[in-house]
Structure 1
Amino acid sequence: MLLSVIIISFNGEKYIGQAISSCLCLAGADHEIIVVDNGSTDGSLDLIRSIAAGCGSPFRIIENHENKGPGEARNIGLAHVSGEYCMFLDGDDWLEPEAIPRIVACLQEWKPDVLMFNHQQVWPDGRKIPNVPNRYVDLGDRWADLTDPAVRKGAIRNLHVPWNKAYRMGFVRDHGLLFPCQTYYEDMVWSIRATVEAAAFYYIPDVLHNYRRHPQSSLHTTHDGHFNIIRECRRVEALLKDHADYRQWYGTKLYGYMRSTLFGVINTGSRIPKAREGDYLKEVSVLLKDFRRMLGLRGPDILSLVAATGDSRMYSAVSGWAVRVNRLKGRMYKLRNRVLK
């Protein structure tokens, strides 16, 4: 068995059929499907069973009697993998028809530790927005060997999620890759470690994964769990402290990624409870200061300085200005690409 596709399902009766079907009926694709049902209370588990009964592909269902969170559910799926490689699919997302054959062919040809592919965001109004290229990440429109760190650092500011990659299981086991048992931001350190620790790393620009954007996502809830992003960034800091080579090649890029992610959490205005916004800002400011010291970065960071006050109103005013500047940069990037084409 070459590839194991791990699908995580929780109360996804509306979407799970599409997710599973996007992995089925693929002639010649050497793969299996593992569905981990995370304690669903709707009709999704019955639907999964009915699909499995009429499926010609190797298919396993793992039933958790309670919702263990996405991280632990993925760990459980990993423990049942038979394939030489694994990849992940959330139960409300789906793959393009050519995804599995394309991934299998690339794994057979290159035998990488990690293969990264492109995805697109799919919005409720039907908009489809490819993730790469963007003004942070532009790897071109052809496959790329990113094994050399000097080349790979161009991908470091890509979205750090587990489902835009396939992983060699020997690599996963050798590096002890596991997800933390939490609901929020459980996937960031996994993806960053896989990206920087892989010996052989390849990228294909094909849009193979559809990432469904909808307001029911846990990321749109107001909850103290969003403070987890600070804890996960501390884990990235520890990783860089322990590995001078990672720090040299990827440190500045990872700092930029984490800074935008940390501030992005509060910029939504809906994730951090209002009473805790000051605490969040202060913790973020301390974290970024420690990072800058570790990396030897100089020069002021206006947002971080304002965040240190814990004054959420002042921060909101300054960040609003920064958002407008970033939007202008984004428009300039798109305009430049149009002119160059």
Structure 2
Amino acid sequence: MDVVLTVVVPVYGVEGYLYQCLESIRAGLTGEENASVEVIAVDDASPDACGTMLDSYAARHGDLRVIHLSGNVGLGPARNAGLAEARGRYVWFVDSDDWLPAGSVRAVLDRLHETKPDVLLVDHLRVHESGRLQTDPSSPLLAGSPDLERLLGVQHTAWNRIMRCDFLAKHDLRFPAGWYEDVPFSNPVLIAAERVDVLNRVCYHYRVGRFGAITATRSDRHFEAFAQWDRFYAWLAGAGADPALRVRVFTLMISHLLVIAGNESRVHPRRRRAFFREIAGLYRRHRPAGYLPPAGTPGLKHRLVAANSYAMYAALRTGYRVAGLRRRSTQRTPVVSPDIPAPPQRVQTASLR
């Protein structure tokens, strides 16, 4: 039977999460469905026991292909190594500290058979260390018929899109090295695709705040985001993108970089001014003709970037943080009489769509 889907799992320093990830991929598949899926795990010279765990898992189950890299190359090149060995018509990159909810692969296979897209976007939930499930702010953009301008606002990751392998080869789309490798890959994937489909169902659980994760690590390597956006703009120039698309992309880029700048877990406070200045430089390099910032607070931040006014940005950021602290400090736990039952707790739940 032909392989329909290759799931590539890059592995590095995740021995506490690895088995859950691998088990979730094939969970609930029938014999025929199982035969149409292959899983390739790429051991990116992991310093812990992950390499041994992968070999043991492959020996027990016989349906896992393992690639051991001789040296650590990083997430993007590790994904490329798995893609180079893929036999499926489609590829899905699943990070090894995340996992797939039950029925996800089956739902993806059914949709691929039905619509045969170049790219299939799926929804996800953010999973906090406490176990709390949270809908991503960009998830509502998946509703409705596929529209490129809207879908570009969906979180630009590799793991929320399943892609046809010959489409990636035709457009020479591969991951670069470095952090934020998704930027010059996942955005071109959507723009270059002729057929984009959406499976508006939660098919991925994304672990948030894990110790050791890039998004939870203070490092100057977050400055690598600027080179990745420059790479994307070089691709965009070659693609001859229309002006409206350039405006949409530019707004998303500045908003993304401002999120990084304001995140205490990524940029050290002593480096925030330098990071802000890099945003201002990127703003000058890529600002489309006639560009107008968005409305509201986001637009105010964009204007401060345009003016390279870090002092005003820092004051605005401090003001919002102080206001947030005051709101939390004025909240009071309601006093409940022992004779009156406490009101029921509101529990945040999430279900498959």
Per the TM superposition, whether the score is higher than 0.5 is: yes
Q: How much identity, in percent, do the aligned residues show? A: 28
Which residue, out of 194, 206, 216, partners 1:211?
A: 206
Report the 3-state secondary structure (helix = DSSP H, G, I; strand = E; otherwise coil) of the residue aligned with 1:121. Answer: strand
Residue by residue, what CA displacement relative to the aligned partner does 1:4-57 show, whole Å, maximum 9, x if unpaired?
000011121100000000112521221100000111222222222222222253
Aligned partner letter, 1:260: S
| 1:255 CA drift (Å) | 1.9
Alpha-carbon distance in structure 2 between the residues aligned to 1:241 and 1:323: 38
Are 2:123 and 2:142, in contact at CA under 8 Å, matched by a contact in 1?
no
| Residues matched between the structures, number | 313
Residue by residue, what CA displacement relative to the aligned partner does 1:253-279 show, whole Å, maximum 9, x if unpaired?
222221111111110134234443332
Q: Choose 80-89 or 261-270, whichever is displaced more.
A: 261-270
Please state if 1:39 is matched with 2:33.
no
Report the 3-state secondary structure (helix = DSSP H, G, I; strand = E; otherwise coil) of the residue aligned with 1:162. Answer: coil
Report the 3-state secondary structure (helix = DSSP H, G, I; strand = E; otherwise coil) of the residue aligned with 2:40. Answer: strand
Q: Choose 266-275 or 227-236, whichever is displaced more.
A: 266-275
| 1:303 CA drift (Å) | 2.7
Aligned partner letter, 1:13: E
Q: In the alignment, what sits opposite 2:185?
A: 190
Task: Check 1:302–1:229 CA distance in 2 against 1; reply closer, same or farther (3 A cut).
Answer: same
Q: Choose 272-281 or 6-15, whichever is displaced more.
A: 272-281
Please state if 1:88 is matched with 2:93.
yes
Which residue, out of 123, 138, 142, partners 2:141?
A: 138
Report the 3-state secondary structure (helix = DSSP H, G, I; strand = E; otherwise coil) of the residue aligned with 2:174. Answer: coil
Please state if 1:120 is matched with 2:125.
yes
Q: In the alignment, what sits opposite 1:336?
A: none
Please state if 1:317 is matched with 2:311.
no
Which residue, out of 46, 50, 55, partners 1:49?
A: 55
Please state if 1:156 is matched with 2:156.
no
Please state if 1:256 is matched with 2:251.
yes
Which residue, out of 99, 103, 108, partners 2:104?
A: 99
Aligned partner letter, 2:160: N
Please state if 1:180 is matched with 2:180.
no
Report the 3-state secondary structure (helix = DSSP H, G, I; strand = E; otherwise coil) of the residue aligned with 2:234. Answer: helix
Q: After the TM superposition, which residues 234-253 of structure 1 pair with which residues of structure 2 at under 5 Å, given as runs?
A: 234-244=230-240, 246-253=241-248
| 1:322 CA drift (Å) | 6.8
Report the 3-state secondary structure (helix = DSSP H, G, I; strand = E; otherwise coil) of the residue aligned with 1:52. Answer: helix
Are 1:118 and 1:130, in contact at CA under 8 Å, matched by a contact in 2?
no
Residue by residue, what CA displacement relative to the aligned partner does 1:215-263 show, whole Å, maximum 9, x if unpaired?
411222222211111112222333333344x333522222222111111
| 1:152 CA drift (Å) | 2.2
Alpha-carbon distance in structure 2 between the residues aligned to 1:9 and 1:311: 41
Are 1:122 and 1:213, in contact at CA under 8 Å, matched by a contact in 2?
yes
Q: In the alignment, what sits opposite 2:338?
A: none
Q: In the alignment, what sits opposite 1:232?
A: 228
Q: Choose 169-178 or 222-231, whichever is displaced more.
A: 222-231
Q: In the alignment, what sits opposite 2:7?
A: 5
Task: Check 1:112–1:308 CA distance in 2 against 1; reply closer, same or farther (3 A cut).
Answer: closer
Are 1:145 and 1:201, in contact at CA under 8 Å, matched by a contact in 2?
no
Are 2:217 and 2:265, in contact at CA under 8 Å, matched by a contact in 1?
yes
Aligned partner letter, 2:141: D
Aligned partner letter, 2:192: E
| 1:62 CA drift (Å) | 0.3
Aligned partner letter, 1:3: L
| Unpaired runs of at least 5, structure 1 | 326-341
Alpha-carbon distance in structure 2 between the residues aligned to 1:307 and 1:252: 16
Aligned partner letter, 1:255: F
Please state if 1:279 is matched with 2:277.
no
| 1:61 CA drift (Å) | 0.2
Alpha-carbon RMSD across the aligned residues, in angstroms, is 2.5
Q: In the alignment, what sits opposite 1:328?
A: none
